[in-house]
Chain A
Amino acid sequence: GAGVSQSPSNKVTEKGKDVELRCDPISGHTALYWYRQSLGQGLEFLIYFQGNSAPDKSGLPSDRFSAERTGGSVSTLTIQRTQQEDSAVYLCASSLRGGANTGELFFGEGSRLTVL
């Protein structure tokens, strides 16, 4: 597709369950990012991938959060044993290059996670 694609667009889950969120970046973009946006808040950085490796995962809130990227393309963000405070919109972005000169990020429309 032409843009960053995320799925699911909406996910409602029960506290304690595991969830997986998927991101399909723009073809050819080497850098991929996950951010989290809580209601009325700015974006909170979670993790940055360059290719399949993650040079910066300093924003992952706890060890319940993990992410991987395969084939330099699709990425999955996994949240284990979800808690109510995990409720947020999870945004994925990609860019042509990353590292020292991030440049323009292209964002997907996000996955809205609600933990009951």
Chain B
Amino acid sequence: EDQVTQSPEALRLQEGESSSLNCSYTVSGLRGLFWYRQDPGKGPEFLFTLYSAGEEKEKERLKATLTKKESFLHITAPKPEDSATYLCAVQDEGSWGKLQFGAGTQVVVTP
């Protein structure tokens, strides 16, 4: 069965203190790996899709990378507005529409 594990569960950063979030996954074949951001009381907001090992995507202070077993979301010089829960999800090659989500990493950035 597909599994998605995110670590750490929570992360507290000082403004400007760069760090990385991890998403490890087990699937029979990867169709895509997705990163979402979720603010309290809101639905998740799409950030990135990665399809193959070695692929990287960037958006402002965020950079996502992918290997055959895990993905990293790097947050460079974070600001308080980067505080959110970051969710990782995978689509298995046998899946038609279903995404398997991890439990998320809650990030708090303090001034």
Chain A interface residues toward B at CB < 8 A: 4, 31, 33, 35, 40-45, 48, 50, 55-56, 58-59, 91, 93, 98-110
Contacts and interface: CB of A to CB of B under 8 A. Distances in A.
Contacts, number: 72
B99 A42 contact: no
A35 B6 CA distance: 19
Contact of A56 (B34, B46, B98, B100): B98
Interface string B31-54: 110101000011111100100000
Contact of B96 (A35, A40, A48): A48
Interface residues of B, number: 26
Given A42-B102, A42-B104, A43-B87, A102 B45 contact: no
Interface SS of chain A:
loop
B31 A107 contact: no
B2 to A, nearest CB: 10
Nearest to B51: A101
B96 A45 contact: no
Nearest to B88: A42
B57 to A, nearest CB: 12
Contacts of B89: 43
User: 7 smallest A-B Cβ distances: which pairs?
Assistant: A107-B43, A48-B97, A43-B101, A42-B103, A42-B101, A104-B46, A98-B97
